[in-house]
Amino acid sequence: MKRTLPILFLILTGWLMSWLLPSFKSPLTPVRSFMFYYDHPNDSVMNELKSVDLAIVAVHAFSKDQIQEIQASGTLVYGYTSLMQLENWNTAITTKVQDSDYATQNEQKIYVEEWDTYVMDVREAHYQQILLTKIKDEQQSKGIDGVFFDTADDLFHYFSDTPDHDSFLQAYESILKQVDELQLGIVQNRGFESYEARGKPYIDAILWENFDDQTLAESKWAQNWFYTLLKAHHQKTVRLLAEVRTDESEALSRNLGFPTFRKY
């Protein structure tokens, strides 16, 4: 019962906000469904991608014709880009990186064991140029609608308690602004603190990866961000997307009216 009451309160709050809050502008407000696909597509996958409102893909694995075919069905196509971690599989990036592009702590590169990669220093103009060149040459050239920024959480995770935090936030905002100037939409994976601090003018949607009912019932941090983002979602200043991994989390997300993707 302890867990059920907070969840019911979350749902009730969501319904009330949808009725009471004024609406504004996010271009992704019409999105009701989305999916990810990071490999070369076959016919079955192409049909899946054409059935959703928003497809987040690894653009290098798709031809321009395939991107256009998906868009012709009314689907928006956003391209994956890792913001804070090196795309170690992408030779178009790894062959251009220099030592000064790596972020450091205690004069050591920051290794991310889970993904066998490194955190990058987005303050470096050289690395910013690498990211923007990738977005323009690999993604925008194929006619995508926007960019999906992953690994934004790392900005807060590694640097929030350091003297460099503000300079990282400034660099983060600079990258978002440059992408916005390309007239591309932006979806960000988590990174709630960075979004709140500098990202609001540029970001059209936030993905809550692993949106979890149990975490929401027990974590004050999650509850605080839930209410902040729920308010923005219902004001339509940003679209909140949910990636879920359990039946209970999926039910909660759909009851709240979030576009929901189930990861198995």
pTM, to two decimals? 0.91
Tokens 């759909």, residue located: 254
Cα 259–Cα 260–Cα 264 angle in degrees, nearest 5: 165
What pLDDT sits at residue 22? Answer: 46
What pLDDT sits at residue 26? Answer: 77
Kindly give the residue spans of alpha helices, DSSP state H, lying in 160-219: 165-181, 192-194, 213-218
Residue 139: half-sphere exposure toward Cβ, Cα within 13 Å:
27
What pLDDT sits at residue 17? Answer: 52
Q: Is 28 left (phi over 0), alpha (psi -120 to 50) or beta?
A: alpha
Give the closest residue to 175 by CA, choosing from 237, 62, 113, 84. Answer: 84
What are the chain's domains? Answer: 79-242 (3.20.20.70)
pLDDT tens by residue, the chain, 264 residues: 445 545 555 555 554 555 444 444 678 989 999 999 999 999 999 999 999 999 999 999 999 999 999 999 999 999 999 999 999 999 999 999 999 999 999 999 999 999 999 999 999 999 999 999 999 999 999 999 999 999 999 999 999 999 999 999 999 999 999 999 999 999 999 999 999 999 999 999 999 999 999 999 999 999 999 999 999 988 889 999 999 999 999 999 999 999 999 998
What pLDDT sits at residue 12? Answer: 55
CB atoms within 10 A of CB 129: 13
Give the closest residue to 103 by CA, choosing from 128, 123, 89. Answer: 123
